[in-house]
Structure 1
Amino acid sequence: MVATSLWQTIVQHPQFFAMLTIPPVTAFVTWVHVWMALKMLFYPIKFRGIRIPNFPFFGLPGIGWQGIVPRKAGKISGVIVDQTLSKLGSLDEFFRAMEPEQMAVFITDTVDKHLEALIDEIMLEHSPALWGNLPYALKRRIYVQAHKELPEIMQSLVTDLTYHVEDLVDMRQMIVNKMESDRRLMVNMFLKVGQKEIDFIWHISALIGLIFGVIQMFIFLVVPQHWTVPFFAAIWGFLTNWIAIWMVFNPVEPRFISYIKVFERTSGFPFIKPCLPHIAQLRLQGGFMKRQEEVSEVFAEIVVNDLVTLENIMNEMMYGARAAQTRELMKSHLYQILESPVVSTTLRVSLGRRDYGQLKNTIIDKSITATMVPLRDPELNESRASKIFGLFRDRIRELSPREFQNLLRPAFQEDETTLIILGGLTGFLAGWLHLVLVFFPSM
């Protein structure tokens, strides 16, 4: 009876048809502006707009936009390392799991194939006239000695680098540098890890918008003032973004509610069927935390293939902030070839003390370059990634829900306020257009 009376009141309203458009329009507009907000979270990768020095808004370099995640890739990746990756284990542990003994064999075999060309390159760059005129018999003695000593030297060098990897590589800085140099990688990581949550936020926003639209329709019935249309559209814009993001990450810990179950889901139409009444439990938990086991596989794959890779570790070791320490460690091993009687005598007599000392530095530079060539080999990196994939996956699964949410939460949390404000602004503009195009013509 009450419902019938209420419906008659709505039908008799002078702007009945305009009022009926509020729920679907609110749902559609909410769906669109949440889609826009999510796109603005990740795109564009590079700033697009007019650059203005000392531009004071949103940390942007001018009037325009750059996705929040690529713009703050360094900061966000630092948070992920501090709050999540650092809890999975040490770089020393990961590097040992890559089986450095096998790596040493691979590097030795690759370098050994080009060892004579490498020696020629070093000597011709340092003393072209001398090396060009040196009898082949003397060159041959150096080649033979280098081939003989290389396996043992490389094995001891890689072993030494393994034991000192924590001193030579800052894992946090390595990952931050990688993310800042390839901001698309950061975006792809979040999209792979959180695509289902992003789709959920987008689609649930339409349902939330529809509910808010029904509420707004009744508000307009009670308060038939046109200003309520854009005003409440702005409020729904704020609330929709906030509620959708909140539902992805909350509750953090699972909560179980008992209820009487009388229907169960089916795979085909009509998708539900009656069942014997029984007590069941409903699990309330943020959508992202529910997928911890599934996400662990995806995130572990990203980490071992793009972040904590053999190439990245060695690149940071050889060229990063602590490269000087790496050079000193390499000297203690590579100079063994120069100090062997055969090579030392030949080169000292040919070069003299001063040029012989300068030659040592040249050898280190060329050796680093030669060593990095096999370390960039895709097959080697893929085989090392397979060694540590299971380690990462299992440890991500063991994270507490609060620790686990930090894989995705920083992307939204970094500028969550901006996204919510954008929702309110776009809601207001859409409400104003709705008022002008639908309500005013119906007056």
Structure 2
Amino acid sequence: MDLVFNFATLSLLSIPLISAIVGWCTNYFALKMMFYPIEFVGIRPIFGWQGLIPAKRQEMAEIAVELVLGKLLSIEELAARIDPKLLTVAIERRLKQVLKRIVNEVMRECAPQLWASLPVQGKNLVYARIEADIPNVVNKVVNDFQHNVTEIVDIKELVVNKLVETPELINEIFLKSGEKEYPFIERSGFWFGLLFGLPTMVVWIYMPQWWVLPLGGLLVGYLTNWIALKIIFEPKQPIKVLGFTIQGMFLKRQHDVSRVYADIIEAKLMTSANITEFALHGSGSDQLLELMELHVNDAIERYIAFAQPYFAVGVGSESFYKMKELASKRIFEDSDKYLPYAFEYSDKALGIGDDLCERMRALTPEEFEGVLRPAYEADEWKLIVTGALLGMGAGFLQLYLVFM
């Protein structure tokens, strides 16, 4: 009799305990399903899964551009922070080496006889004249770049392309931003599951029908996932309850999350290297090439102005124009050999992290939520439904293993 009693008691107590385990499991899987797998696994469009955040990375990138980088920081503002003089100091030594090689190669191709007949002293004078003019040319190129930056660098295209190409980055933004919240959400599923399992146990005592446990499991899975997703962003404004301040977990840590978000944007997205690469190879690269051709051609005209009649006769007008075109093209193509020397200076000059962090901290809770949530909010129901189905499955399993 005692054995029967004990087994019956343990069977009843297993209901809230299994509900607690279901709550923990569904919250655990809900969090994992937000981020993984990074790429779609299964058979499109229905049978399979992709983490909600990686799946929505393009929409999230567009939101980041429109709200964060569009309204809080502009590409014009960032470009204006580059000082041509300091930029010249950063790249001058390497640029001199690159220009010397380009001059030799261009002259050997466009005016081989003239260049071969020119004594070393004459060549050194050419090098010296070009090197002395570097600050002037860099200043003009930078000033024109700053005035035409929106045509050369499409900030929306840059950010969207980078996040689409590297879905791990969008995951990192959320995982690091919520590194203190996610463990709590996972553990809270256990306690919410235990709490919701008690009514199921009571109902089973008075109504031991086969459908009670699957239904109870479904409700536990649904409610624990729903609560887990809600407490991240709800309530938006702080609310006092029994002396405690309640607010959405991300929003409550807006100060810290802004720092994490801004640091990742600065270190891995809006870097000088990424901006430079996009300017050189993106949709606005033709405009940048035209700009550089303008100033390189102008410099060449000035370098040979004192001897232009002799030079034109010695080289020929066709070779002269070819020389200017080739020089501009080579300086543009070889920019990856000298511009990286400016990245350290440029990153400091742009100061994206501190400015972005400060401005994100000044956002209202509603605006701050708009940075992190809208792109995947429409698909949150998928996580909730998945949790409900897992809970119902656990209910059937419990019914079969314990009560049948």
Q: TM-score, normalised by structure 2?
A: 0.88
SS of the residue corresponding to residue 283 of structure 1 reads strand
Report the counterpart of residue 39 of structure 2 in structure 1: 46
Contact 1:40 1:68 in 2 (8 A): yes
Contact 2:84 2:138 in 1 (8 A): no
Cα separation, partners in 2 of 1:88 and 1:341, compared to 1, 3 Å = closer
Q: 1:371: how far off?
A: 3.0
Aligned partner (choices 228, 233, 238) of residue 249 of structure 1: 233
Q: What root-mean-square deviation, in Å, do the aligned CA atoms of Structure 1 and Structure 2 show?
A: 2.8
Q: 1:435: how far off?
A: 1.8
Contact 2:24 2:190 in 1 (8 A): yes
Q: Which amino acid aligns with 1:380?
A: Y
Judge which range, 327-336 or 395-404, deviates more. Answer: 327-336
**Equivalent-residue separation in structure 2 for 1:217 and 1:14 (angstroms):** 15
Q: 1:177: how far off?
A: 1.0
Relative contact order, CA 8 A, sep 6+: which one is greater? 2
Report the counterpart of residue 31 of structure 1 in structure 2: 24
Judge which range, 387-396 or 403-412, deviates more. Answer: 403-412
- Find out whether 1:84 has 2:76 as its counterpart: no
Report the counterpart of residue 324 of structure 2 in structure 1: 360
**Equivalent-residue separation in structure 1 for 2:212 and 2:115 (angstroms):** 89
Number of paired residues?
A: 397
Q: Which runs of 5+ in 2 are unaligned?
A: none
Report the counterpart of residue 263 of structure 1 in structure 2: none
| Deviation by residue 1:415-435 (Cα, 9 ceiling, x = unmatched) | 212211211222222222222
Report the counterpart of residue 269 of structure 1 in structure 2: none
Aligned partner (choices 129, 139, 142) of residue 158 of structure 1: 142
Alignment of 1:122-271 (within 5 A): 122-123=106-107, 126-127=109-110, 133=116, 135-137=118-120, 139-257=123-241, 259=242
**Equivalent-residue separation in structure 2 for 1:403 and 1:131 (angstroms):** 66
Q: 1:351: how far off?
A: 4.5
Report the counterpart of residue 20 of structure 1 in structure 2: 13
Give 1 or 2: higher strand fraction.
1
**Equivalent-residue separation in structure 2 for 1:335 and 1:408 (angstroms):** 48
Q: Which runs of 5+ in 1 are unaligned?
A: 1-10, 58-62, 260-280
**Equivalent-residue separation in structure 1 for 2:218 and 2:110 (angstroms):** 75
Q: 1:375: how far off?
A: 3.5
Cα separation, partners in 2 of 1:254 and 1:348, compared to 1, 3 Å = farther
| Deviation by residue 1:220-267 (Cα, 9 ceiling, x = unmatched) | 22321122212221222122111111111011122234x4xxxxxxxx
SS of the residue corresponding to residue 167 of structure 1 reads helix
Judge which range, 333-342 or 185-194, deviates more. Answer: 333-342
Q: Which amino acid aligns with 1:379?
A: E
| Deviation by residue 1:93-135 (Cα, 9 ceiling, x = unmatched) | 12333545422331333312332123234455x5596688453
Q: Which amino acid aligns with 2:344?
A: E
Cα separation, partners in 2 of 1:199 and 1:347, compared to 1, 3 Å = farther
Cα separation, partners in 2 of 1:338 and 1:128, compared to 1, 3 Å = closer
Q: 1:75: how far off?
A: 1.8
Contact 2:38 2:51 in 1 (8 A): yes
- Find out whether 1:389 has 2:382 as its counterpart: no
Report the counterpart of residue 278 of structure 1 in structure 2: none
Q: 1:403: how far off?
A: 1.0
Alignment of 1:364-379 (within 5 A): 364-377=328-341, 379=344
Q: Which amino acid aligns with 1:56?
A: P
Cα separation, partners in 2 of 1:398 and 1:299, compared to 1, 3 Å = same
Contact 1:311 1:381 in 2 (8 A): no
Q: Which amino acid aligns with 2:366?
A: R
Report the counterpart of residue 381 of structure 2 in structure 1: 417
Report the counterpart of residue 380 of structure 1 in structure 2: 345
Contact 2:293 2:329 in 1 (8 A): no
